[in-house]
A and B are shown apart, each in its own frame.
Chain A
Amino acid sequence: AQKITQTQPGMFVQEKEAVTLDCTYDTSDQSYGLFWYKQPSSGEMIFLIYQGSYDEQNATEGRYSLNFQKARKSANLVISASQLGDSAMYFCAMREYNNNDMRFGAGTRLTVKP
């Protein structure tokens, strides 16, 4: 069963504007972590931000923030003040307390327009 769903294969945003990348997840565990990664055209996977299931506040890291809505099982990534260098694939992922592995969504390709 698909555990992570990213419904936006591609997104466009104007430079300096904010953009939200959607992610929903499915788990029966109470303890889990949600992660976002960026993959530029060079292919490296860059860890961006983490949200734990018990965290009451939304995680933030610089221009990245995670809009965590536990009841809806969504963990959307918000990028503020988009830059050209933000153009990349973005993956949402989850680790569960009862599993050692990490599962990824299909990804969203973000293109920032000048």
Chain B
Amino acid sequence: DVKVTQSSRYLVKRTGEKVFLECVQDMDHENMFWYRQDPGLGLRLIYFSYDVKMKEKGDIPEGYSVSREKKERFSLILESASTNQTSMYLCASSLSEWTYEQYFGPGTRLTVT
């Protein structure tokens, strides 16, 4: 069974803090993704990575950075958290072919106060 895990289910941070969200997959997938999910907006792609140390911006990269030092791990970093980054963050992984589905982690609900 493919498993994607995220470091926290719930997280509360203060404005200005640096926040790390970790994602690990155990199926040797090439691609990994970070989305944020907000009501009425669906899932919006923040960043994705198609290989170790490779990354590409998604639709809403502002205020975020990512790191992929190992194939199984993809980190999302909020350099200076702001209240408008309060959201549900979903990590996903997949094989690189366009015919394959993504597998999702359970999500991290981040609240920035």
Which A residues are closer than 8 A to B by beta carbons?
Answer: 4, 6, 9, 31-33, 35, 43-45, 47, 50, 52, 91, 93, 95-97, 99-107
Count chain A CB atoms within 10 A of each CB in B40, B41, B98 and give the residue with the most.
Answer: B98
Q: Are B101 and A106 in contact (CB under 8 A)?
A: no
Q: Are A106 and B48 in contact (CB under 8 A)?
A: no
User: Which of chain B's residues have a CB closer than 8 A to the CB of A9?
Assistant: 40
Size of B's binding interface in residues, CB under 8 A: 27
Q: Are A33 and B98 in contact (CB under 8 A)?
A: yes
Apart from the given pairs A35-B101, A102-B102, A106-B42, 6 other A-B contacts in the complex at a CB distance below 8 Å = A31-B98, A33-B99, A45-B104, A101-B33, A103-B45, A104-B35
Q: Are A91 and B106 in contact (CB under 8 A)?
A: no
Q: Are A44 and B104 in contact (CB under 8 A)?
A: yes
User: Which of chain A's residues have a CB closer than 8 A to the CB of B35?
Assistant: 104
Count chain A CB atoms within 10 A of each CB in B41, B96, B100 and give the residue with the most.
Answer: B100
Contact of B98 among A32, A47, A104, A106 (CB under 8 A): A32
- Complex CA–CA separation, A47 to B2 (angstroms): 12
Contact of B43 among A43, A91, A95 (CB under 8 A): A91
- A/B interface sample: 14 pairs, CB < 8 A: A33-B100, A35-B102, A43-B88, A43-B106, A44-B104, A45-B90, A93-B43, A97-B98, A100-B56, A102-B33, A104-B35, A104-B44, A106-B40, A107-B42
Q: Are B99 and A52 in contact (CB under 8 A)?
A: yes
Q: Are A102 and B107 in contact (CB under 8 A)?
A: no
- Complex CA–CA separation, A73 to B100 (angstroms): 20
User: Which of chain B's residues have a CB closer than 8 A to the CB of A31?
Assistant: 98
Q: Are B43 and A104 in contact (CB under 8 A)?
A: yes
* Cβ of B64 under 8 Å from chain A: no
* Cβ of B25 under 8 Å from chain A: no
Q: Are A101 and B48 in contact (CB under 8 A)?
A: yes
Q: Are A91 and B42 in contact (CB under 8 A)?
A: yes
